[in-house]
A and B are shown apart, each in its own frame.
Chain A
């Protein structure tokens, strides 16, 4: 194997020739094809490109669109990436610098349209965007201002902020036509980095933190958002109906009805069936959770006397803690199973939730059963996470390139890196907690760009990675080094002005937007002041 590797040239012509005469081992065709990215890299940088003052969000995962928002976060502006083309009079034009006319944003991107999404008191949530590749639908969110000390009325959880109006907008990216929307009133959905929303195939899970409901919606091919079920107070979609239809015998408390508001927006359903203070029944999901915990302790111990002692210590003593858990975050594992993170109210809203106790449960929506339940420090869950990380990265069926995102379960270099962090960690349980804090994963938070493929390139993941985050930038360019022979520096990405930042004291925040297929990337550097951001275009000349 190693002798072959030495023979295999990194010269692109030799590689193409090699491709003609050799068949790669079964199931590695794509991996072989991706090696060409070692030859085609975004090594040329256009610094401080003159460009519209927008907030650039990302390329869609199929590379068809560049999503951006106007600075006042009211309009969506969509661009189509184009490959740079220019004419040159001289014979050997490669040696010349680019003509100044070519060094513009417009030579790389064509504006398709601009549509207003938010009204005057609303803003587009700049960290939120989900893309449904099959239909080229985009999901956006707008919201009004957040109220921090909102009173907990109508079954809302105390301590969770409230937003008067959150609107999810489904838009056809091809022509910018708004297809449907779904409004949540006086509710709270965590929209930073898509945290509170997960898209899997055509299924959408939206977590109402304030009312503790997981709304499952379906995005129809027709462009409609359809309510499928709401998991929280009830588990099945017709539980409320069952209660109401059997209520003529006064079998069940009907206090909930008074929260029902007259028709109109679908969001009023949110307020229906909330647990109210007088009625102390456990919510559907809590009943499932508590009965799962109860049964696992019950079945663990065979002896009656020991069993009741164990239950008293491990279950009844902590009953209220379990009953007070709230749903923090949700992801799909497949079309039937949700991975749900439960924690205390404090941890659900705060940014750094690491030190709060948390639990994750696998819940089957169809059978309404909890399948498994772990504390966030459980070694067993960590082992699953280490070995089968890709199973947690549930990606929709028709997004093939998402299968090549490096993780420690599919990439030996990423695994090595994880192991070295593990060895350095002072406490094993702290390390496990820290690692498991990333579960459930956020939806579409990683760039499928091949330049983040750790089997191709090595880079400092503190400065740059596939994960879509703003990062503090340094004045040093970020190096991408070949993983294979000759292990050489292949290209550098440098955000900000060419000569370094003008003000050494200012802390600069950078974000990197890589095209999923082409050797093309944008780096956007912002100072914390209100200066316009510095946009560099990195591409292969």
Chain B
């Protein structure tokens, strides 16, 4: 909608404009390949793409799954790839406020696969699927916000009420 982005944004021309001018690193090639993979087989209720022409900084969107307290929410996330990707995991940060025991107060997603459990075999599609699945099934035993985890285990109904209200207030 904003004019001036031009042809750089389409996948074919993006490849062609990148190749001759810049040396495309192994990580860049890998990220491009993952982008194609994501385009060809997008996971349900998820989407993502590079922000501007920076291949290492993506924005992702997860639509709150119906039947969960996050239903109706549109959650935006930053995905930041390290230069030595895929040997190091990407950082995933919520840009939309969320009430969740695995998301720290600044929005950083804390999951095994984004830390020690990372494997170069994992892809951005798999990361998005994993984030979406913790919205359905939080992991209170590996929580970064103990208060929410306690509430989730002790009083699930109250937890869901707060999470749902938070979705209505901040994620619509």
User: Which residues of A are in contact with B by a Cβ distance under 8 Å?
Assistant: 235-236, 239, 242-243, 246, 248-254, 278-282, 284, 287-288, 290-291, 293-295, 298, 304-305, 307-309, 311-322, 357, 368-369, 375
Contact = CB atoms under 8 A, between A and B. Distances in A.
A316 B50 contact: yes
The 5 A-B residue pairs with the shortest CB-CB distance in the complex, in nearest-first order: A249-B147, A316-B49, A312-B49, A291-B74, A253-B105
A248 B147 contact: yes
A335 B169 CA distance: 21
Interface stretch (B19-27, B51-59, B134-142): B51-59
Q: How large is the interface on B (under 10, 10 to 19, 20 to 34, 35 or more residues)?
A: 35 or more
Interface of B: 1-3, 5, 8-11, 38-40, 42, 47-53, 58-59, 61, 63, 74, 76, 78, 93-97, 99, 105-107, 145-148, 150-151, 162, 165-166, 169-172
Given A281-B107, A308-B42, A317-B9, A357 B50 contact: no
Contact of B47 (A246, A290, A308, A318): A308
B68 to A, nearest CB: 17
B105 A235 contact: no
A278 B106 contact: yes
A305 B99 CA distance: 31
Given A311-B47, A316-B51, A375-B1, 13 more contacts: A251-B148, A280-B106, A281-B94, A287-B74, A287-B172, A298-B63, A305-B40, A307-B42, A308-B42, A316-B50, A316-B59, A319-B52, A357-B2
Contacts of B39: 305, 308-309, 312
A250 to B, nearest CB: 6
Contacts of A294: 61, 74, 76
Contacts of B63: 298
A279 B106 contact: yes
Contacts of B162: 246
B42 A304 contact: yes
A322 B64 CA distance: 22
Contacts of A278: 106
A321 B9 CA distance: 14
A236 B165 CA distance: 12
A341 to B, nearest CB: 15
Given A317-B52, A320-B52, A236 B169 contact: yes
5 contacts: A249-B147, A282-B76, A290-B74, A316-B49, A317-B8
A233 to B, nearest CB: 11
A251 B99 contact: yes
A251 B145 contact: yes
Contacts of A251: 99, 105, 145, 147-148
Given A236-B169, A287-B171, A319 B107 contact: no
Contact of A318 (B5, B48, B58, B147): B5
Given A295-B74, A318-B5, A287 B170 contact: yes
B162 to A, nearest CB: 6
Given A242-B169, A293-B1, A357-B2, A312 B9 contact: yes
